[in-house]
Chain A
């Protein structure tokens, strides 16, 4: 187990290096300039723009810039954002709580819907409930979040005037009022993300349960005279959920990475909107840091998923 872990971690290093190199090169080759806004401004002489580029090291060759970035990163210096001139790690840490709250809650919501619905639908395949659940699931994941998001805004914010559609991280209230305001502003984005995720989870849970439900040990359990509830929960669900756990573990980087589209629509100050803003502003250090952290998380959670798998299913051994 320990050697397996060590080996996996060692393998992760070259792959992360490769990822960072590719990311950096693509960003360097992509057109754009963090100072493009100054380009049409006659008040800023071109020399000032050039001096700024030089002082931010943008005129050096790509490889020099990459090595500089890499050595700084290795020493824990993430660099500073060109757009806000503050340290990138501060910028990211500011965004993490909101993203964790919104995307995390939506994942929980998705599981709360998908597990019961998926299991129930699988125990009664092709019943009316299953048909409806299936149809809704298809509708759910074929509607993109930017569409459902706008739909909810038009309905609940503009027509009914129930919820605000601009998410504010500073709510000027305390106590219960604060929780109430937080709930009001978060309900729409969480619903949008949660339902979308729930739709695909439901399909997954249903098929996983269906795979298990026909196995012999389930029939044995029933033959022993166990109640239907016990059979479903203890015998079927437990085994069916092993692949689902992996799926959820692999979704975890997304929880940190934020939901780019939804965050943009509801103006949620999360990692996703940070990334989009950085891309639009050609803020290379921020783009690099966010995507690199994301890459690290993917690698890490892949490893965790593999470990979890072995722990849940003792038949799998690590070699």
Chain B
């Protein structure tokens, strides 16, 4: 999809000839996530749709208790310290950002009066200034008014490196100015096409200045409000035991009329995913359980009781395989898989193409992930019927065999193909996780049929995902031929997400393997497109550039996407909830109700 086509589509949405949903799906098919698609519409002055859950109750309160079960217990409530999803979910009950993302990727105002657009003057022509208008009449839980000072303070707080906030990255390169009590300006150093990052979604929770003001910087840990949050959210804090239970009561002064529905909220943590699903689907002890990484078959069995239901929403998580084009078995300057080396066999594009044909994505989805993932050939989150015309996946052993035959890889006496004494034997690594080991087995079997021998290796997740410089088994070291894991796109910024495809981010010894480009592959065309996208203000042009980056890597068969993961949650039958793959599960907890 090029820029011209994109413009036609946008025009179509404007005239009403193309529905918003179709537009989003068309873009998703080419690797543009829903939030970006809606950003393109917003840029072109098509209004954003609002929260996707229709709220029925006609008065606030009266809904009794709402009980959430997280199988990983929240341990802290300050959203700027919350590195784990469990903590972000807990913090979001009390704190709110200026805007959040709904499940279709619409930016939905929460503490802002409206979403900035060019039409309402919120976005400047040069792409450097975003002006947020804040909602009037919002009160903190202690009765003090919420103003622009709190927004400015949140920026100062998070941007201070001594605070040790995990959200620092979103706030360091900006300046925030108060215009009046209910208007703030976010000033970026450079033209920033994706501006909806600071004060938005997971990283955007606004903190009350009157509670955190004295605890900026090194004293951040001492703030009493870290454990007794005072926010603007739909529920007020009651009690918290880290790693166990969190309770809240209804905020009677909540700034949305008739919300929230429930009188109290309880978040219990601990245990494991299967028994969490059981407590919702089978016994109904809890109303909602999150992130159920449980085999779909087990969930289906539990659902048969009729007490609860399972819901899945698309997210930016992609399960994929990297084919290493550098040599993992030769050490150069103290590191293996150095870009100075070339993989003896995988550097042959034909071999990579063959391996891509040997991945039975449909079976992996059908038999392993079920509702937990959708088979895909690109870094995409698309409904199945909207697969990209360009990026397709296929499972075809005969074709793979033919490609390898043509490329001169002949089967030896042991059934393994070789050329010039180099055999197609690979080590295929992933983290320990039952579905991943099953996926490994499926791929190994197919490769065997094509004369490729895979040695399966699994590393415990705490090692695999650590940044331990001394450990050879971390995922960024890539000391193997093939590697599989899930990468998360937690915030709908494809630019930062796609930085794993640029040459200056290649993980190596020099940057202590902290570089984001784990595959080590690079292409000047991808670099160029990425750099252009960073400066490109027109979202349509920018989208086209980012699609290009994505396609270059997928077509080179260096990155073999397997599945677009969904976020699976369970809820009791009568709970109407609204969880989003682009924000935390409780992003819109105010609008949940019992029917």
Chain A residues within 8 Å of B, Cβ to Cβ: 31-33, 35-52, 55-56, 80-81, 83-86, 91, 94-95, 153, 157-158, 161, 164-166, 168-170, 172, 264-265, 267, 269, 273-274, 277, 280-282
Contacts and interface: CB of A to CB of B under 8 A. Distances in A.
A43 B242 contact: no
A86 B166 contact: no
Closest 5 CB pairs of A and B: A46-B514, A269-B244, A84-B75, A84-B242, A33-B466
B245 A40 contact: no
Contacts of B146: none
A31 B471 contact: yes
A39 B271 CA distance: 24
Contact of B468 (A31, A81, A153, A273): A31
Prevailing SS type, chain B contact patch: loop
Nearest to B221: A85
Interface string B63-75: 0010001000101
Interface string B464-507: 01111001000110000000011111110100110110000000
Interface stretch (B276-284, B520-528, B585-593): B276-284
A43 B243 contact: no
A269 B275 contact: no
B93 to A, nearest CB: 15
20 contacts: A31-B463, A31-B471, A32-B462, A35-B83, A43-B202, A43-B496, A46-B515, A48-B166, A51-B164, A83-B242, A84-B243, A85-B226, A86-B227, A165-B279, A169-B241, A170-B247, A264-B270, A265-B271, A267-B268, A267-B270
Contacts of A164: 283, 285
B168 A48 contact: yes
A157 B462 contact: no
B266 interface: yes
A95 B516 CA distance: 40
B122 interface: no
Chain B interface: which size bin? 35 or more
B487 A42 contact: yes
A35 B467 contact: yes
Nearest to B316: A42
Nearest to A83: B75
A153 B511 CA distance: 50
Contacts of A280: 462
Contacts, number: 162
B573 interface: no
Interface in B402-447: none
Interface of B: 65, 69, 73, 75-76, 78, 81, 83-84, 161-162, 164, 166, 168-170, 202-203, 221, 226-227, 239, 241-245, 247, 264, 266, 268-272, 275, 278-279, 282-283, 285-286, 460, 462-463, 465-468, 471, 475-476, 485-491, 493, 496-497, 499-500, 511, 514-516
Given A94-B241, A170-B245, 4 more contacts: A39-B476, A85-B76, A86-B227, A265-B271
B466 A31 contact: yes
A42 B283 contact: no
A166 B286 contact: yes
Contacts of A33: 462, 466-468
Contacts of A81: 75, 242
B242 A37 contact: no
Contacts of A31: 460, 462-463, 466, 468, 471
B514 A50 contact: yes
A208 B275 CA distance: 41
A153 B203 CA distance: 39
Contacts of A282: 462
Given A84-B76, A166-B286, A170-B247, A32 B466 contact: yes
Contacts of A273: 243-244, 270
Contacts of B76: 83-86
A131 to B, nearest CB: 37
Nearest to B507: A46
Nearest to B218: A55
Contacts of B514: 46, 49-50
Given A31-B466, A85-B76, A166-B69, A52 B164 contact: yes
B241 A37 contact: no
B101 to A, nearest CB: 13
A168 B286 CA distance: 11
A41 B359 CA distance: 26
B286 A277 contact: no
B245 A165 contact: no
Contacts of B275: 153, 165, 265
Contacts of B244: 94-95, 169, 269, 273
Contact of B169 (A39, A48, A86): A48
A125 B465 CA distance: 58
B243 A166 contact: no
B197 to A, nearest CB: 8
B467 A42 contact: no
Contacts of B202: 43
A38 B491 CA distance: 13
Contacts of B84: 37
B35 to A, nearest CB: 13
B247 A277 contact: no
Given A42-B500, A43-B170, A158-B282, A36 B465 contact: yes
A264 B169 contact: no
B241 to A, nearest CB: 5
